[in-house]
Amino acid sequence: MCLSNKSWGMWVAALAIVGSSILTSCNKSPGYGRRTANNPGKRSATTGAEFSFDEDDSTQFFVAKNAEQIPGPNLKFIQGGRAVLGSQEEDVMAFRDNQERTVTLANFYLDETEITNNDFREFLFEIKKKVSADSLLKLEPRDNVWAGGEMTFNDMYQSYYFRFPGFNFYPVAGVSWVQADAYSKWRTEYVQEVIREDRGIDSSFTKSQLIERGVALADYRLPTEAEWEYAAKAMIGTQYLDENQEYGRIYPWDGRGVRNPYNVKRKGKQGDMLANFKRGRGDYGGIAGSQSNDGDIIPTNVYDFAPNDFGLYNMAGNMNEWVQVIYRPLSYQDMDDLNPIRNSGVGDEEDEYQTSMLTDEIRVYKGGSWRDVAYWLAPGTRRFMHQDSATNHIGFRCAMISIGEKGK
């Protein structure tokens, strides 16, 4: 039988409709199709068995419908991605320890501000309930970092900086890497307990049981060097239409200068300094009475200067900040290019160096401070100090991992 073109077309259309109906009915079958954390389907796609959504039902396989990370207060979400890290300025110290390299970082969270005197006093108040008097004394910031010997008069800062209410929201000083790490661990325990109480989460659930139920309470910690540098540069502010980055950033803002070139309200007045740093020999704050004199000859309130494009304050100047990693001059070439970190001397052992300065207890700090010149404001610069040492120009902030996107 010979079909006309019209009849043949009708047959093709009918078959297409039938086929589409079959595919549609398959896709609507319970438990099949694309699943997400918030929409897992009713059945297993591999076995066909029904899921249970009752966490108290022990007879069937339990699947949590909702996935949620509870990050805690003061944290800013930092979207990860590809970035060129390392020093983009002249290596005046000739250390050659932070050459440019391309890496990729996962999403994470970082404190909006440096940890303040008020924050650290809260920590001491709570921790004294759990530790001995001797242990508490070791956790207190060292007031003597302001002393300076016989050649400088800093009695006001030594006596008042940490405890006087006028300095409540200034960054804590005199804190070693070990003390900063202890604060991070205490904050993890304390914040998670507060979240459990506020949300009525069963206190008997272990961390693993909470994770299975879709509740993620990640730990506070010091940021890795790569995370800190990535967040400080905030190259997200230079990204517009495509993946090409036409230029890098020397500082956490655009340009090569340290004054505000814009007359934009959220960024302060045009001509203002963009960070709290030492402008030159003996010049910590400018001339009295001038517009550019901000009066900040020591650390200042953690909100005093405009945030970068991630919404983070003082990622240059005010205080240097401890990061998690130990120092090695060749870390930039040894570490992985995905979420790089160095927590040990593996591949670059301390006994290979003929100096006691490079051990696994030497930690990196970054950012520049109130007593550093502009060179150290560049996020790509790095310095190091023993983890038990403390100064009046190193503070810290905390980070937290980001556990995927909700419901994806």
Side chain identity, residue 286? G
pLDDT digits over 206-259, tens only? 888 888 777 888 999 999 999 999 999 998 877 765 666 666 788 998 888 888
Please give the Cα distance from 211 to 399 (Å, whole number): 20
Distances from the Cα of 285 to the Cαs of 124, 171, 373, in angstroms? 32, 18, 12
pLDDT of residue 399: 97
Report yes or no: 121 and 172 within 8 Å, Cβ to Cβ: no
Side chain identity, residue 245? Q
pLDDT of residue 391: 96
Residue 265 pLDDT exceeds 90: no
Tell me which DSSP letter residue 31 carries. T
- Segment holding 322, helix H or strand E: strand 320-326
**What are the backbone dihedrals phi and psi of residue 229, each rounded to the nearest 5 degrees, phi first?**
-65, -40
The mean pLDDT value for 12-19 works out to 55
Residue 278 pLDDT exceeds 80: yes
**CA 150 remoteness from chain centre:** 39
Encoding tokens for residue 326? Answer: 């130990």
Domain boundaries, the chain: 75-238+256-401
Q: How are beta strands 68-69 and 215-216 bridged, if at all? A: parallel
Average pLDDT, the chain: 84
Q: Between the CA atoms of 19, 25, 26 and 27, what dihedral angle is there, to the nearest 10 degrees?
A: 110
Helix (H, G, I), strand (E, B) or coil at 228: helix
pLDDT of residue 89: 72
Helix axes 177-199, 117-127, angle to 10 degrees: 70
Question: What percent of the chain has pLDDT above 90?
Answer: 42
Q: What is the pTM of this model?
A: 0.85
Please give the Cα distance from 261 to 96 (Å, whole number): 31
Report yes or no: 62 and 52 within 8 Å, Cβ to Cβ: yes
Longest dimension (CA), the chain: 112
Please give the Cα distance from 275 to 317 (Å, whole number): 5
Please give the Cα distance from 10 to 4 (Å, whole number): 10
Encoding tokens for residue 115? Answer: 């940890």
pLDDT of residue 31: 42
pLDDT of residue 264: 57
Chosen CATH of 75-238+256-401 out of 3.90.1580.10, 3.40.50.300, 3.90.226.10, 3.40.50.2300: 3.90.1580.10
pLDDT digits over 102-148, tens only? 899 999 999 999 999 999 999 999 999 999 999 999 999 998 999 87
Side chain identity, residue 138? K
